[in-house]
Structures are given as C-alpha cells and as structure tokens.
Amino acid sequence: MPLPGSEAALIGLAALAVVIAQFLWPCAEHVNVMAHEGAHAMTASVLGFPVLGIRLNPDATGETSYFAPAYGLRRVAVSFVGYLGPSAFGLGAAKLIVRGHIIAVLWLSVVFLVLLLLNLAPPSFGFVSVPAAIVVLCVLIRYGSAGLDVVMAYSVAWLLLLSGVRVAVQDGASAGDAATLRTLTRLPRLLWALLWLAVTLEAVLIGGRILLLRG
C-alpha cells in the first residue's frame, strides 16, 4: 500500500539530505550515473544503435559506447537523454508505487542493474558498484519486511528524482554530453544544460505530487 503523504514527505526529506550532504552524496552519485548511462544505452538500442559497452568510473562518471553515424537526430537523442535518465526512472518508480506495485519497483531495479552489468566493458568500476547494488536489493527483497520494502521503493524514487536535479546543476554547461550536443547541433552548451535543468525540476514536481498526493 502507498504511504500517507506525511510519511512519503519524510522519506523525500531524507533523500534530499543524502543528495545535498557532501559526505553522503558519493554513494547516491554512483546510483545516478548507473541510471544516466543506462538511459544512453537503452535509447541507443531502441533507436537501432548496437551498444558496444558501458564504463562506470570510481569518480561517478561514465561513458556509453555505441556504433552510430557521426551525425543525425538519433545521435542527438541518445546524447541528450542521459541527464534525463534518473528523472525518468524516478517518475516510473513513483507511478508504480501509487498503483500499489511496490515490490515491482525493487525487482525492476534489479533487472535494470543486471542488464547494465551485462553491458559493462572492462575496465569498469561498475563491476564492483553494480553487483553491490544488486546484492543489496536482493537481500532487502528476500529478507526485508513489507514495510522496509515500501520505504526502499520510495527511497529509490526520491533519490533518482532529486539526484537528477543535483547532477544537472553540478555539471551544467561543462557536461561532456553538452559538448557532444554542441558539436552535433551547433547549439550552445548552455542551452542543453538549461533544458536538462528544466526537465529534471519538472520531474521532481510531478513525481513529488504523485508520491505525496498518491497520484
């Protein structure tokens, strides 16, 4: 069952503290980069580009390699979507939660992480971070109480939504994806950074309304 709005808000505040506090942020940042690079890979695959490999680095950066033409709208889409990945996954989790599919959020997170693991290319810190995340989720699903599963599902949704905004602000126009998009489109890097910020903020507003008002 979805939580009352007050309890959902408390979990949201805890997730906000993790995203804001510098000593807590590194773990959350690794979760964010998994969603970021996963979004690149999923979009590339859907648009018909073979994914060659994903690298996740100890400093919570990453790179997704795929075979594609040097230019084109599909290439633009793949480059643009990374910074929206965490927000999109967070919105999806929020929708599942309010529809009562709490455990599905955790299992789908495991499935996503397994797919990410299968697409990692060495050398990659992801061979440490991704299995660790899978183990944590599987232990919670197997041994955690129903109440803990609910809290974890809400935490995943909030963390993805809020981390999307932090990274959009943190990287801004200096983001590597912004440089790629500048090359592909000739549009300024700042424009892409502002688009990412606007969309991730809107995702927090929509996702927050879903989680707090239960739809």
> What is the domain count for the chain?
1
Nearest to 105 by CA among 213, 209, 207, 7: 207
- The domain in which residue 84 lies consists of 5-213
Question: pTM to 2 decimals?
Answer: 0.94
Q: State residue 190's pLDDT score.
A: 97
Q: State residue 21's pLDDT score.
A: 94
- C-alpha distance from residue 32 to each of 6, 68, 73, 144, 173 (Å): 26, 25, 25, 24, 18
- C-alpha distance from residue 201 to each of 19, 168, 207 (Å): 14, 9, 10
Q: State residue 215's pLDDT score.
A: 56
Q: State residue 144's pLDDT score.
A: 85
Q: State residue 71's pLDDT score.
A: 85
Q: Which residues of the chain have pLDDT under 50?
A: none
